[in-house]
Structure 1
Amino acid sequence: MTEILVRMGGEGKIPPVSRVVDHPAWPVLKDAVERIRPWQSPDGSIDFDAADAPRRRDAEEAVRSVVECVGVLSPLLPHDAAYHEALAGDLTRWADGGFDVPDFLDSLLAFQPAAHRADGLQHLVVFPMYTQNGNPDRNLEAVVLRMVWPDWLAELERTRYDNPLFCGITFEDFTAGYDTNSAVLFPETIAVREAPERFSWGGIFCDREAARFRRVTEAAVDVLGLELPEDVAALVHDQKRCEEAFVLWDMVHDRTHSHGDLPFDPFMIKQRQPFWMYGLEELRCDLTAFREAVKLAAEGVPQARDVQYAVLFDRMFRFPVTGERVRNYDGLGGQLLFAYLHRHDAVRWTDNRLFIDWQRAPQVTNELCAEIETLYRDGIDRPKLVHWFAGYELVARYLAPHPGSTWAKGPEALDLSLPPRKLVDDVLPDEFPLSMFYEALSKKLRKVIAATRGITADGAGRAAA
């Protein structure tokens, strides 16, 4: 507490605040976490024998600072009291145990944000974790967030899209692991001694998704000479509308992983499969959200039309040209959607301009969704390897495989005496390369996409700023 008062410039009374990030304890906590992060190994431990290792007492002091700050901030968040108490215990045990591989199972089990889905509710979250699409190491991270749970979304979840684990969230502030492309807070990323039998929540930052969507879509529209209808153009310039579109999209997408005719574990946990199968699963969930949005729009739900444009533009413009080309399953799904729409004349690239048939595009998009669902339904009666080949054939009807591909030559080119998981080794890192269209678009959008790293609702990319 003394350090917090010093940071205020004295030992006077701390003025009342309602936002965690406005309290003087927050920057102290954040600084302490940032001191700890560089000391950690990839597994989250601290090796005090390393050449650049800190003194143990310095690490202990930093952890004490985090514990003290959590205690000071916790009264602002009475709904997280049990979590913060368990968190203090996990942090203290980590330090007392010599900073070995961290185990925060107790605090993970105590953190239950899905049990209190109230719009605007704040949470202060501290865990050793990796950040998906961000930092692969289990560093200590701190993030202050708010729940996004407006009445209209709560009603849709209650009556049509039951998803009791889903949490729409927005950033208030964060440490370096989130100054990246990560837009999720998932319990499976947290360092624990053993995985719980089941996870009870999952959070997606709709503000980052919306800000990134707006930045990349605006650039793509300019590069491609695409003329947007007035309402769509207004969407791209409206952060709140985009956030509402993404939180609805995410909620329906998330539940789709466990709904439908599924021939295998939809999340593919602990399974080794060719990356196009992951791409088809993610695309299936997005296209299901698109199809549901078409229905909801017809019923007068205002956010539903925006979801359709968000799915189309994010999938066609950002996904294919984002990230490396090594097993890029989200990129593959975006390529497939564009190629399918192009093959069926719902989009045209001519005279160096992109044209979209706004009437035909929803119909054709739903047809691709139906093709993938047929693949899944038929897959229930197929052996795994046959199903993988059927998925390959679906993708290869619209995307050209790499000319050096072994899988493209068919089953006779593979050693079928090996178990299916071994045949994944014969999949090329970039089994379906970018088309000439996307090769050119990638060069045009590369800097724009890079600038969205760490982006927040105000449109600023922190790492690029």
Structure 2
Amino acid sequence: MSIPVITSTGEAEDKAIQEKADAVQATASSQSPAPVTAAHPDWVRLKTAATALQSLQAKDGSLPEVVHHTEAAAHVAVIVGSINALAPSFPHDAAYLELLVQDFDAWADGGFGVPDFLDSLLAFQPQQHRENGLQHLVVFPMYTQNGSSSRLVEAVLIEVIWPEFIADLEGGEYSNRLFVPIRFLDFTPGYDSNSAVLFPETVGVRETPTFTWGAIFADREAARFRKVLRAAAQITSLELPPEARELLEDQQLTQETFVMWDLIHDRTHMRGDLPFDPFMIKQRMPFFLYSLEELRCDLTAFRESVKIEKDEKASLEARRHAKLVQYAVIFDRIFRFAITGSRVRNYDGLGGQLLFAWMHQHRVLHWTDSSLSIDWEEVSQVVIELGLRIEELYWRSIDRPKTAHWLAAYELVSGTVTPNPASVWAKGPEALPLAGPPRGLTDQVLDDEFPLSMFYEALEKKMRPVIESTAGITGTFTITSSTEALNAL
């Protein structure tokens, strides 16, 4: 809060006005809640109790063993007491925290059945308070994507990332009212994992509500990107452009770049000529369709970033980050996505393989003399062309039956990434059970329908320790050299 000073002719009057302004400013500052750190005693108590409670819960979040109810009630009492103690630090979440306490009490009073936190979930609306540095205390029985598949009580202390240039982009052509970029301050074990999202659909509730927000931990995305890219560049002898090297050295710059990428990616799921539900909720489809959808959104972010970089009306910050988004999309896709996770229906992995192979076959990416190089002057048009191919597939498939769309999508992918030699799909439509229900076609897709190439097999072996070391990483990660990055493993 800034108090203007009124100019007057009397020095004494000027001084009195300034002193009054300073007093008002001091009062306003003293009324602002102090930030909650990971060392805050009430947070520590809450985190400890929630972690202890997890060990008593079943996969669905309930406590079926009555013998544990007394201990669980004690943990809930600590959680509730800590929430009440911390609540004044989160006045913007007052209604949510009040209902959260009620949901915990109702769960305990009801005998610790399958938890239902619908009332508090509906009251938690972080998308209404997108302010840079604003904190939230989030406590729910939930699973954590790429973390725990059980609905355990998890607690996470977070901070919103909302720089001015992102607010300008979102307020203009890239509106996305549901998107909330955040960073970790501290968390319970479910987030000591690869999970980088906080989604309301993971929370234990009695009925499925309309979801009104989605949060992504940009600090984790940025930190693991920096660590993986640093090692991959050294292993492949890739010379990074000067702007890309900046990403390796500056966590804040990188996480803001990921916020811009995610802002555009997330909104793309709901835009365009879509032949099906863009989120493919409750649809059982071959996993390569998920690959194309996620890659479509990333390549849209890439294309829009090329557009913003060239837009003289855009702010300098937006144009600078737009260039960095292009590097981030390419490097994260070809280095981390392609070799992260198992080979069982790994749709993000396939998307990375597809981008790499497309760039290689269009001769803007080269693996020669055991060194990787990229022709940066030509790469943007080649990458954009792949996105346009996927968009053409979607547009044409609006007029196609589901089976025909699936076959066309497979043709697009297999035209660039070589299928498994044992694949039935690779033999063509005449080998597939087209007369039966679509599920029969999905069942014919191999878990690893598109195996890693020889290049990726070799890279994965060298990068495996680096990839594994990024589980649980946050924005506090700092390494200053490529040699140190590898030696630190």
Q: Please, which of 273, 289, 296 is the counterpart of residue 277 of structure 1?
A: 289
Residues 231-310 of structure 1 mapped to structure 2, 5 A cutoff: 231-299=243-311, 300=316, 301-310=319-328
**CA separation in 2, counterparts of 1:343 and 1:47?**
56
**CA separation in 2, counterparts of 1:276 and 1:460?**
35
Contact 1:86–1:107 under 8 Å retained in 2: yes
3-state SS of paired residue (1:255): helix
Q: What CA RMSD, in Å, does the superposition of the two structures yield over aligned residues?
A: 1.4
**CA separation in 1, counterparts of 2:324 and 2:76?**
44
**CA separation in 1, counterparts of 2:55 and 2:439?**
36
Structure with the greater alpha carbon radius of gyration: 2
TM-score of the superposed pair, with normalisation by structure 1:
0.93
TM-score of the superposed pair, with normalisation by structure 2:
0.89
Tell me how far 1:283 sits from its aligned partner.
Answer: 0.1
Match in the other structure for 1:359:
377
Number of aligned residue pairs: 443
**CA separation in 2, counterparts of 1:150 and 1:288?**
22
Tell me how far 1:55 sits from its aligned partner.
Answer: 3.0
Q: Please, which of 225, 232, 235 is the counterpart of residue 237 of structure 2?
A: 225
1:25 aligns with 2:42: yes
**CA separation in 2, counterparts of 1:460 and 1:155?**
30
Contact 1:275–1:327 under 8 Å retained in 2: yes
Match in the other structure for 2:143:
130
3-state SS of paired residue (2:259): helix
Summarize deviations over 1:427-462 as a string: whole Å, max 9, x none: 10000000000000000100001000000111179x
Residues 448-459 of structure 1 mapped to structure 2, 5 A cutoff: 448-459=466-477
Match in the other structure for 2:208:
195
Tell me how far 1:231 sits from its aligned partner.
Answer: 2.2
**CA separation in 1, counterparts of 2:39 and 2:451?**
48
Contact 2:63–2:69 under 8 Å retained in 1: no
Match in the other structure for 2:216:
204
**CA separation in 2, counterparts of 1:439 and 1:22?**
43
Residues 20-99 of structure 1 mapped to structure 2, 5 A cutoff: 20-48=37-65, 55-99=68-112
1:116 aligns with 2:134: no
Contact 1:401–1:408 under 8 Å retained in 2: yes
Q: Which amino acid aligns with 1:385?
A: T
Q: Which amino acid aligns with 1:32?
A: A
**CA separation in 1, counterparts of 2:41 and 2:80?**
15
Match in the other structure for 1:414:
432
Q: Which amino acid aligns with 1:389?
A: L
3-state SS of paired residue (1:159): coil
Tell me how far 1:237 sits from its aligned partner.
Answer: 1.6
3-state SS of paired residue (2:141): strand
Summarize deviations over 1:291-322 as a string: whole Å, max 9, x none: 00101111252110010000000000000100
1:139 aligns with 2:152: yes
Contact 2:160–2:183 under 8 Å retained in 1: yes
Tell me how far 1:23 sits from its aligned partner.
Answer: 2.4
Contact 1:181–1:454 under 8 Å retained in 2: yes
Summarize deviations over 1:149-205 as a string: whole Å, max 9, x none: 111101100111110000000000000000000000001111111100x21110000
Tell me how far 1:210 sits from its aligned partner.
Answer: 0.2
Match in the other structure for 2:355:
337
Tell me how far 1:238 sits from its aligned partner.
Answer: 1.1
**CA separation in 2, counterparts of 1:422 and 1:67?**
50
Contact 2:200–2:211 under 8 Å retained in 1: yes
3-state SS of paired residue (2:55): helix
Unaligned runs of 5+ in 1: 1-15
1:395 aligns with 2:413: yes
**CA separation in 1, counterparts of 2:164 and 2:254?**
17
Contact 1:287–1:366 under 8 Å retained in 2: yes
Name the % identity.
58
Tell me how far 1:236 sits from its aligned partner.
Answer: 1.7
1:375 aligns with 2:393: yes
Q: Which amino acid aligns with 1:308?
A: Q
Match in the other structure for 1:101:
114
Contact 1:20–1:76 under 8 Å retained in 2: no
Q: Which amino acid aligns with 1:303?
A: H
Contact 2:163–2:256 under 8 Å retained in 1: no
Q: Please, which of 142, 161, 166 is the counterpart of residue 179 of structure 2?
A: 166
Match in the other structure for 2:485:
none
Q: Which amino acid aligns with 1:181?
A: N
Contact 2:132–2:161 under 8 Å retained in 1: yes
Unaligned runs of 5+ in 2: 1-32, 480-487
Match in the other structure for 1:384:
402
Q: Which range is displaced more, 332-341 or 411-420?
A: 411-420
**CA separation in 2, counterparts of 1:20 and 1:97?**
33
**CA separation in 2, counterparts of 1:55 and 1:374?**
57
Match in the other structure for 2:365:
347
Contact 2:117–2:205 under 8 Å retained in 1: yes
**CA separation in 1, counterparts of 2:234 and 2:381?**
26
**CA separation in 2, counterparts of 1:396 and 1:55?**
53
**CA separation in 2, counterparts of 1:327 and 1:65?**
42
Tell me how far 1:235 sits from its aligned partner.
Answer: 1.8
**CA separation in 1, counterparts of 2:135 and 2:35?**
10
